Structure formats: structure tokens, C-alpha cells
């Protein structure tokens, strides 16, 4: 960020454990992707290649080369892990991520019938050699609504105890499941229950693919909340939200001076 006399929320430089932004790539053309990474690498902590897009992206290697050149971490979406797991091919999944030099992975159970305990066992299995993001919550909105706040807390704790680097709270790329209702509004009671549970907020990544969700999370937890599933087009906009440089959060970080008129 350019130096000015403005008083703005403090943002750590990379590598950072809090205030991280996970950008989701849903299939950008390679040259456009490389341009985005070159332009905004200081604002991007990690890139997720959404769901199974890596398998149908012939030049995924060149996208990864761009990330490595600019020191941006990356991993393949948790749904890809679930597909391999559902076909009893987790060893093949490990070989696949190794083939692309992934040192970070995501392990989830948002779609397939897998208990959280079973998922946590996979987390524990791979944490000695890989940085593991786990995910809690379901992609189906009704199923997520039936997951009680205490279950969210218990599942997050179970994953962290298994060695997860951070736990992602599900919202999908649409922002209409998991910690969100089907209409896209945030389940504020749920995230407050999680926050009051004693879980370290730096251990969580809240998926926030829409501006409304990003604003809500920043207002709830401050500028340095970890946010995920951020669209390519929103990277700069999110940083301005974090720093009060956009009307949506300006008054959250800046107290306007009273101007007396004669």
C-alpha cells in the first residue's frame, strides 16, 4: 500500500497468519490469470483452484508457474479430494497433488457422506508432510442449516486438534450455504457462537464470495479476518474494504470530524 498520512487499519505484509485473502480461480484464461497474479500478488495469500477445475485445465502448470514466480501459495479445491475419496483413490489424489508440487491441500466432506471424524483422520494423516486446510459445513443449504452451532464448534475443534493449519467455514462460491442462508444472508448467530467458543480466529478462514459477506465479516471481526473464495475481480475491492477506503466500511475505521459552520 502506498504511504500516506492517513490513519488506516494496520495490515501485515506477507507471509501473514491473519488478514489473509484466499482467491478462487474458477477457470480464468491462463494469460489473464498470470496478469492478475503479477498485478496483485501482495494482496493474495493463497489461490484455490476451485473444485475439480485443475483436472480440465490443460495448462494448469503455467498457472502454477505464475504463482511460484510471485510467491503465492496454491492448492486444489476440497471437492477434488472428495471425488478421489469417494472412489477409494486417496493415494492417487496424493500422487496427483505431488505431481504439481502442492505443499498445501484442502480436505473436506461438504458433498460426500463422510463423518467429520473420518475427515479429521485424513487431516492427521497428511499434516506431517503437507499444510492442510480443512473445511466444515455442507454445500447443500438444508443440510448445513441442520448442523447446529455446537456441532460447527465441535467439528472445527476436531479438525484443529488433528493438525489442520486452518479450518475453512463453508459458504460455497455463491455464498448461499454453510455459514450463509439460502438467500445469501450471513448466519450471524452461528459465527458469533463460533467466535465465543474460544477458537482462535486466526485459525479460521471464512468463505466470503460476495461484497455483502465481506463487509459483514470485516464489521464483525475487523480488518484482519481471514477470508476465502474471493473472486478475481474483488481482490482490490476487498483490500479497500479492509482498510476503510470504500464507503461500505469507511465509517467503521474513520470517525468523521465535526465541521462547524459559521
Please tell me the predicted confidence (pLDDT) of residue 168.
97
177 backbone dihedrals φ, ψ, rounded to 5°: -155, 180
Parse the chain into domains and list their residue ranges: 21-249
| SS3 assignment, position 23 | strand
Contact 211, 242 (CB under 8 A): no
**Residue 90: CB atoms within 10 Å:** 16
- With a cut of 70, which residues of the chain have pLDDT below it? 1-2, 257-262
| Residue 78 vs residues 6, 54, 84, 112, 236: alpha-carbon distances, Å | 40, 12, 10, 11, 25
Assess contact for 135 and 162: CB atoms under 8 A: no
Domain 21-249 - what CATH class? alpha beta
The 10 Å Cβ neighbour count of residue 39 is 13
In this prediction, residue 102 carries a pLDDT of 97
Say whether 14 sits in a helix, a strand or coil.
coil
Q: What is the pTM of this model?
A: 0.93
pLDDT value at position 257? 64
What pLDDT is stored for residue 258 in this prediction?
A: 56
Q: How far is Cα 108 from Cα 19, in angstroms, rounded to an integer?
A: 22
Amino acid at each position: 500500500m502506498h504511504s500516506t498520512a492517513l490513519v488506516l487499519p494496520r495490515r501485515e505484509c506477507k507471509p501473514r497468519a491473519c488478514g489473509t485473502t484466499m482467491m478462487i480461480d474458477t477457470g480464468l484464461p491462463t494469460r489473464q490469470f498470470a496478469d492478475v497474479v503479477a498485478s496483485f500478488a501482495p494482496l493474495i495469500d493463497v489461490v484455490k483452484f476451485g473444485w475439480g477445475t485443475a483436472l480440465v485445465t490443460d495448462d494448469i502448470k503455467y498457472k502454477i508457474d505464475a504463482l511460484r514466480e510471485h510467491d503465492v501459495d496454491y492448492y486444489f479445491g476440497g471437492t477434488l479430494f472428495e471425488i478421489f475419496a469417494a472412489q477409494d483413490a486417496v493415494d492417487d489424489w496424493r500422487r496427483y497433488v505431488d505431481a504439481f508440487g502442492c505443499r498445501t491441500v484442502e480436505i473436506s466432506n461438504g458433498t460426500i457422506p463422510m463423518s467429520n471424524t473420518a475427515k479429521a483422520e485424513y487431516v492427521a494423516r497428511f499434516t506431517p508432510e503437507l499444510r492442510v486446510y480443512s473445511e466444515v459445513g455442507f454445500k447443500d443449504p438444508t443440510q448445513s442449516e441442520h448442523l447446529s452451532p455446537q456441532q460447527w464448534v465441535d467439528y472445527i475443534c476436531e479438525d484443529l486438534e488433528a493438525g489442520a493449519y486452518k479450518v475453512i467455514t463453508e459458504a460455497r462460491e455463491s455464498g448461499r450455504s454453510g455459514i450463509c442462508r439460502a438467500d445469501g444472508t450471513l448466519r450471524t448467530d452461528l459465527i458469533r457462537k463460533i467466535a465465543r467458543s474460544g477458537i482462535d480466529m486466526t485459525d479460521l478462514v471464512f468463505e466470503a464470495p460476495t461484497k455483502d459477506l465481506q463487509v459483514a465479516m470485516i464489521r464483525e471481526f475487523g480488518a484482519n479476518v481471514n477470508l476465502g473464495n474471493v473472486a478475481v475481480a474483488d481482490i482490490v475491492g476487498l483490500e479497500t474494504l479492509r482498510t476503510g477506503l470504500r464507503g461500505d466500511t469507511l465509517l467503521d475505521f474513520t470517525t468523521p470530524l465535526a465541521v462547524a459552520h459559521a
